Amino acid sequence: MARALLEYGELVAFVLDDEKRLVEASSRARELFEGLEAGQELPKTIELANARRVRYRQGDERRTLIVAPLVDQEAYEELRIGFTAAVSHELRTPLARLLMLLETIERKPSEAVQIALQAQQEVEQMDELLNDVLFLSELESGREVVSFGAAPAVPVLEELAAELSGRADLAGVSLLVEGDPALELPLRPRMLAVVVRNLITNAIRYAGVGATCTISVGIASGSGLELVVADDGAGVDPEHLPRLFERFYRADRARSSKGSGLGLAIVKHVVVSAGGDVSASSTRGEGLTVRCVFPSE
């Protein structure tokens, strides 16, 4: 498979060894990037945004095939402008509320402590947004490597459930972890934590009081491995599901004041970059299920 892809001239493709050193590159990749040398790491100037990664064995050696999509510059520029406008809009809302709160302190000095706490929440929301924007940028530029590793999943899930239990209790949401402790997912521990933290946080924010969020790992029904985060809370209407992983998309107005609007977009980018697939299913009033399916070795 790898040889056929490398010889297909229109694909930008690379094969790396376990040390992230170049083994082979497609003819198209050699045309676009000078200085590619076998045995060396890929130049940092090569961006692998949205690249597909497939790990396989060649004899006794482990290899990673990376296939990068050809970039439509006009479409990319349109996306960049739209993203910049969206970030500006998302920042403008908490900034406007913050300014209003500061002006209120002048009129109602007796309520300064309470207003200051509200202002702090607005600043924290802006900080979360900026951190998510920067992290997503690192993912898309290839500076933050997603795969090249594997981690036993259940210990990570249990650690995050314990970390977020306080927030879950305040929201009235119960957290439950299930799965084989020995089962590994093809993600670095840090990236697995990013995915799970975002999915649990999403459930805490939106599932509603009395809901249970179950985080589990197991064997996918078809083939491969799966990470599933499912709650039995408020859910979303089916028409919103195709857009749930878009940046800044909110299924209803109640979500507009919670979070950065980038959590599920980050989840999708990490999972897809690791060669997996992510999907969501829901019925209003019956909860939301997010399923991440990864290829097995």
- Give the tens place of pLDDT for each residue, 116-134: 887 777 676 666 666 656 6
Structure confidence by residue, pLDDT tens digits, 222-248? 778 899 999 999 888 888 887 788 766
Fold entry, domain 151-294: Heat Shock Protein 90 (3.30.565)
Q: 73-141 with 151-294: one CATH topology? A: no
Q: Are strands 61-68 and 212-219 parallel, antiparallel or unpaired?
A: unpaired
Cβ atoms 26, 6 nearer than 8 A: yes
Residue 127 is predicted with a pLDDT of 67
Q: Read off the pLDDT of each residue in 187-194 and give the average, rounded to a whole number.
A: 81
Q: Read off the pLDDT of each residue in 196-213 and give the average, rounded to a whole number.
A: 91
Q: pTM to 2 decimals? A: 0.56
- The CATH number of 73-141, from 1.10.3720.10, 3.30.450.40, 1.10.287.130, 3.40.190.10, is 1.10.287.130
Question: pLDDT higher for 170 or 262?
Answer: 170
Residue 150 is predicted with a pLDDT of 74
Structure confidence by residue, pLDDT tens digits, 60-84? 788 888 877 654 445 445 545 555 5
Structure confidence by residue, pLDDT tens digits, 14-35? 888 888 888 888 877 777 777 7
User: Radius of gyration over alpha carbons of the chain, in Å?
Assistant: 22
Q: So where are the chain's domains?
A: 2-68, 73-141, 151-294
Residue 79 is predicted with a pLDDT of 47
Cβ atoms 216, 228 nearer than 8 A: yes
Residue 283 is predicted with a pLDDT of 81
